[in-house]
């Protein structure tokens, strides 16, 4: 069952989560308050479709808690995971900016809370606040860089492709902990879709990396003790 809260019912914690998103860092407080005045939050269970390809973009979304994946399909009808997003990240900005239907699906991987901002409020923020425009440009450039990197590795060996997928997650969602860089320990089917490898191959490579001490797995969390060491094995 989905829970819905309108902007009048949001508590201070939700406001803090919205404003703590990296996109808003350093923006004038009054500007942030104005652009988030009509935020609506919803809580979703795992495996819930949030957006569908070809939907029209009426809102821009921020993940407040949980994980979601960006999905499309190749010409053979096979699901392809393009990205994994976590707390503080936004999606749906492209359809809001160019006013065309959405190009991908968004699906929750875990119980997830999402805040949505009306597209017109987001566009007004980008138009009126130069730093917001810079942040958006940086976000789009980062995602393009990540896609280019993964495309270059499509011809690499399976170990390199799995290692790069883990580094991709570390770059986007890694948190520095005592045990190393913490990333979500995603189901192997998601890592398979991200890396373009068979699930069995992903399982075999992860086991090899774990035996070498390059990763550590603990239920829903994976640790990369030394990111530099993992980078060195990419062919």
- For the stretch 149-203, pLDDT in tens is 777 777 789 999 999 889 988 887 788 888 899 998 888 988 988 888 899 999 9
Averaged pLDDT, 3-32 = 68
Reply yes or no on whether the pLDDT at 5 is more than 80: no
Averaged pLDDT, 107-121 = 91
Where, residue-wise, is CATH 2.60.120.10 in the chain? Answer: 4-152
Averaged pLDDT, 26-41 = 86
Fold observed for domain 157-232: Arc Repressor Mutant, subunit A (1.10.10)
* Digit-coded pLDDT (tens) for 49-83: 998 888 777 899 999 888 899 988 888 888 888 88
What CATH superfamily classification does 4-152 receive?
A: Jelly Rolls (2.60.120.10)
Of all residues in the chain, the percent with pLDDT exceeding 70 is: 92
The larger pLDDT score, comparing residue 204 to residue 5, is at 204
Label residue 15 by pLDDT band (50, 70, 90).
Answer: low
Q: Determine the pLDDT at residue 142.
A: 85
Q: How much is the pTM?
A: 0.79
Label residue 14 by pLDDT band (50, 70, 90).
Answer: low
Q: Determine the pLDDT at residue 36.
A: 86
Reply yes or no on whether the pLDDT at 23 is more than 50: yes
Where, residue-wise, is CATH 1.10.10.10 in the chain? Answer: 157-232
Label residue 216 by pLDDT band (50, 70, 90).
Answer: very high
DSSP string, the chain: --EEE-GGG--HHHHHHHHTSGGGTTS-HHHHHHHTTT-EEEEE-TT-EEE-TT----EEEEEEES-EEEEEE-TTS-EEEEEEE-TT-EE-HHHHHH----SSEEEESSSEEEEEEEHHHHHHHHHH-HHHHHHHHHHHHHHHHHHHHHHHGGGS-HHHHHHHHHHHHHHHH-EEETTEEEEE---HHHHHHHHTS-HHHHHHHHHHHHHTTS-EEETTEEEES-HHHHHHT--
């Amino acid at each position: 069952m989905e829970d819905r809260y309108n902007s009048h019912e949001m508590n201070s914690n939700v406001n803090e989560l919205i404003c703590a998103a990296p996109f808003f860092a350093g923006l004038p407080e009054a500007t942030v308050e104005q652009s988030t005045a009509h935020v609506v939050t919803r809580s979703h269970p795992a495996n819930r479709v949030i957006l569908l390809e070809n939907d029209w973009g009426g809102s821009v979304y921020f993940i407040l808690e949980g994980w979601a994946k960006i999905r499309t399909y190749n010409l053979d009808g096979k699901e392809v995971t393009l990205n994994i997003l976590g707390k503080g990240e936004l999606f749906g900005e492209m359809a809001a900016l160019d006013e065309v239907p959405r190009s991908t699906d968004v699906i929750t991987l875990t119980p997830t809370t999402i805040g949505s901002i009306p597209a017109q409020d987001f566009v007004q923020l980008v138009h009126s606040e130069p730093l917001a425009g810079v942040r958006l440009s940086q976000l789009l450039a980062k995602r393009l860089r990540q896609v280019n990197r993964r495309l270059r590795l499509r011809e690499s060996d399976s170990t390199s492709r799995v290692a790069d997928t883990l580094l991709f997650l570390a770059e986007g969602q890694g948190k520095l902990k005592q045990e190393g860089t913490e990333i979500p320990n995603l189901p192997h089917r998601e890592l398979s879709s991200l890396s373009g490898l068979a699930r069995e191959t992903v399982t075999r490579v992860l086991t090899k990396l774990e035996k070498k001490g390059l990763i550590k797995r603990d239920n829903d969390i994976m640790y990369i003790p030394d990111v530099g060491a993992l980078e060195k094995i990419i062919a």
